[in-house]
């Protein structure tokens, strides 16, 4: 079994012995109940990974003796998913599974046909849940790079992002082209747009096409918005050699 991963401050990982305290240390000591001699990995979430062994356990902290310290290169090309807001807890489900599949950035999108709306008074709380979910899923997946979760985007914001991308696609069940037949660039940024359960509006499709995004389909079935992103990531990870 692979060692558990915990987040630590980047500067702390330079030492030969790292004290893991705060919420992460408390979780390791009291929830995971790690003991002296057990293997553990620490990361700053930005590519630095430390492999070590628990040297001592306190009430709310661990001391980790560092055995290996390495810098993990950032994956290329960068995979970004623009995710229309799903209903209920399906937003966190989408974030969790896409993080496990290797997404580099998730952009929440207030699409025209979204049932869910992040009103001003709840936006920060909802965004915080997505970011917390991404952080925990990255640890579970033993990732050295945590995915970014951007601020809530409008359709105009998404179009601007698509214009800057090295490649951009919009998942659409009526598209003739298949994502699996695409020839992705070897580097840069690939942006995938996932629409809401009610579908992407014609005006949104037009705006994205004008920004250079191509409509593609995944397969013969129609997926929920909360699962389409992870399916697209799996295809792209294989096509780009990341898997």
CA angle, 153 as apex, 92 and 226 as ends, to 5°? 30
pLDDT category at 122 given cuts 50, 70, 90 is confident
Nearest CA to 112 out of 202, 5, 230, 184 is that of 202
Confidence tier at 86 by pLDDT (50, 70, 90) = very high
pLDDT tens string 69-84: 999 999 999 999 999 9
Q: Is the dihedral of CA 203, 218, 239, 141 positive or negative?
A: positive
CA–CA distance, 103 with 227 (Å, rounded to integer): 13
Domains by residue range for the chain, with CATH: 5-71 (2.40.240.20), 78-240 (3.40.1280.10)
DSSP H helical ranges for the chain: 22-26, 90-101, 120-140, 155-164, 202-210, 225-239
Rounded to whole angstroms, the Cα distance separating 240 from 215 reads 19
Report the predicted TM-score, pTM, of the whole model to 2 decimal places: 0.94
Q: DSSP letters of 139-195?
A: HHTT-SBPPEEPPPB-HHHHHHHHHHSSEEEEE-TT-SSBGGG----SSSEEEEEE-
Answer for the pair 54, 38: CB distance below 8 angstroms, yes or no. Answer: yes
Bridge partner residues of 145 (DSSP): 46
| Mean pLDDT, rounded, for 169-195 | 96
**pLDDT tops 80 at residue 233:** yes
**Does the structure show a pLDDT above 90 at 158?**
yes
Which pLDDT does position 155 carry in this prediction? 98
Q: State pLDDT tens for residues 59-70.
A: 899 999 999 999
CA dihedral 60→66→68→74, nearest 10 degrees, is 40
Q: What percent of the chain has pLDDT over 90?
A: 93
What value does the mean pLDDT of the chain take? Answer: 95
Instruction: Give the pLDDT band (50/70/90) at residue 88.
Output: confident
Q: Which of 18-27, 89-98, 185-194 has the lowest mean pLDDT?
A: 18-27
Q: Indicate the pLDDT class of residue 10, thresholds 50, 70 and 90.
A: confident
- The whole-angstrom distance between residue 160's C-alpha and the CA centroid of its chain comes to 20
124-153 per-position pLDDT tens digit: 999 999 999 999 999 999 999 999 999 999
- Taking Cα atoms as reference points, which of 2, 99, 1 lies closest to residue 41? 2
- Angle made by CA atoms 66, 78, 7, in degrees to the nearest 5: 25
Angle subtended at Cα 188 by Cα 187 and Cα 189, rounded to the nearest 5 degrees: 120
How confident is residue 11, by pLDDT bands cut at 50, 70 and 90?
confident
CA distances to 13, 49, 127 from 68, in Å: 11, 8, 35
Which residues have C-beta within 8 Å of that of residue 20, sequence separation ≥ 6? 6, 8, 28, 42, 61, 62, 63, 64
């Amino acid at each position: 079994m692979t060692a558990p991963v915990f987040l630590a401050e980047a500067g702390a990982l330079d030492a030969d012995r790292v004290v893991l305290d705060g919420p992460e240390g408390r979780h390791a000591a009291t929830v995971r109940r790690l003991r002296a001699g057990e293997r553990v990995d620490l990361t700053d979430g930005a590519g630095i990974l430390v492999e070590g062994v628990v040297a001592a356990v306190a009430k709310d902290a661990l001391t980790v003796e560092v055995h290996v310290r390495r810098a993990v290169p950032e994956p290329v090309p960068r995979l970004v998913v623009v995710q229309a807001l799903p209903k209920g807890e399906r937003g966190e489900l989408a974030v969790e599974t896409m993080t496990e599949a290797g997404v580099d950035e998730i952009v929440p999108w207030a699409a025209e046909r979204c049932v869910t709306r992040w009103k001003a008074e709840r936006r920060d709380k909802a965004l915080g849940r997505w970011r917390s979910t991404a952080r925990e899923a990255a640890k579970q997946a033993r990732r050295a790079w945590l995915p970014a979760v951007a601020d809530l985007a409008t359709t105009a914001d998404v179009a601007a992002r698509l214009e800057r991308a090295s490649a951009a696609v919009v998942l659409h069940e009526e598209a003739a082209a298949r994502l699996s037949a695409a020839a992705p660039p070897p580097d840069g940024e690939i942006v995938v747009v996932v629409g809401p359960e009610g579908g992407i509006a014609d005006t949104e499709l037009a705006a994205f096409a004008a920004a250079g995004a191509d409509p593609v389909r995944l397969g013969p079935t129609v997926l929920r918005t909360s699962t389409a992103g992870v399916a697209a990531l799996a295809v792209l990870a294989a096509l780009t050699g990341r898997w």
